[in-house]
Amino acid sequence: MGLEEERSGRLRLRFWGVRGSYPTPGAGTVRVGGNSVCMEVRAGRLCLAFDAGTGLIGLGRQLVQERTRGTVHIFLSHYHHDHIEGLRFFQPVYDRRWHTVVYGPSLPRARVDRVLSRSMAPPFFPVSLEELPGRVELRPLKSGSTIRLASPSPVQVLTRLSTAHPKLGVAIYRIEGNGGAVVYATDIESARGGFADVVELARGADVLVHDAQYTEDEYRDALRSRVGWGHSTVAMACEVARAAAVKLLVLYHHDPSHSDRLMRVLEQDARKRFRSTIVAREGLELTVE
């Protein structure tokens, strides 16, 4: 990152993992990528990550190569395994010069401190949170919480807890800075036209990153229906983008069975519904102008 980019404070996105459910490495996913979900947002020297799937591991390596010390802010949408599995191998938490702040929604029977303390402890993992050399801070979030950070220019992250992910719930986030806005809305099963809370949070955003795990056929399959599983179809994501009048829709949380070839077809289909649509892939970078 150049000095001019650091001083500008513009929101810059990079996708480190784009798959839902579980990682899918292999020849059929080389172009789009096989790591589970993680999206990075930079504003100046400020670094935020949204979800901690296996994509977070690559971000950690990049950060320690760039600088010897620093702070990184990680925002979790919820606590299913594909959204937290990369934290165990995130290099900054093993370096005493780094400070990692993990924000997680307070959901029914699930708080960030309780969940991560259990998941990073024997018999599930040999190193507990308390034993990590790096400084790790866990911060629960309520619906309506706003986290304000400085970049050089102020950045704020607005939190909205939604029932659009059945049983547990999910946090959706709106990141605002330098006049731009990005909305992160994964693991939501969109009602027709979009859930009102999701549409309202995404209203007028420059970029909407939206769950689009299923095709219409998969969603309504007579033998293995995905209705009620907590994920959207491509068509649902497009409906939300239209209702919220966003500038760019990024399809995200791809089904592990979807090959690069199918993802190209889904992108083409989505553009017929909402012209300004792209498929998230590992290494994709976007700048909010």
pLDDT tens for residues 140-173?
A: 999 999 999 987 889 999 999 998 887 789 999 9
What mean pLDDT do residues 234-252 have? 97
Residue 72 three-state SS: strand
Q: pLDDT tier at 276 (50, 70, 90 boundaries)?
A: very high
Residue 140 class from Cβ within 10 Å (0-12 exposed, 13-18 middle, 19+ buried)? middle
Confidence of residue 82 (pLDDT cuts 50, 70, 90): very high
Mean pLDDT in residue range 206-224: 91
The secondary structure of residue 81, as a DSSP letter, is: G
In a 13 Å sphere around the CA of 250, the CA atoms on its Cβ side amount to: 25
pLDDT higher than 90, residue 2: no
Instruction: State both tokens at 95.
Output: 């370096």
Token output for 248: 């760019």
d(CA 184, CA 30): 24
CA distances from 221 to 184, 186, 217, 268 (A): 28, 22, 6, 22
For 168-180, what is the mean pLDDT?
A: 95
The DSSP secondary-structure symbol of 122 reads T
Q: What backbone phi and psi angles, to 5 degrees, belong to 170?
A: -155, 150
| Res. 222 pLDDT band, cuts 50 70 90 | low
d(CA 226, CA 228): 6
pLDDT band at 100 (very low <50, low <70, confident <90, very high): very high
The pLDDT value recorded for residue 254 is 98
Maximum C-alpha span of the chain: 55
CATH 3.60.15.10 fits 3-287, yes or no: yes
Question: CA 97 to CA 239: how far, in whole Å?
Answer: 45
Looking at residue 196, its pLDDT comes to: 87
pLDDT at 225 over 90: no
Highest mean pLDDT among 30-34, 121-125, 195-199, 219-223: 30-34
**Whether pLDDT at 34 is above 90:** yes
pLDDT tens across 17-29, in order? Answer: 999 999 999 999 9
Q: How many CB atoms lie within 10 A of CB 248?
A: 17
Average pLDDT across the chain, whole number? 94
Tokens representing 32?
A: 């789009």
Helix (H, G, I), strand (E, B) or coil at 224: coil
pLDDT value of position 4: 55
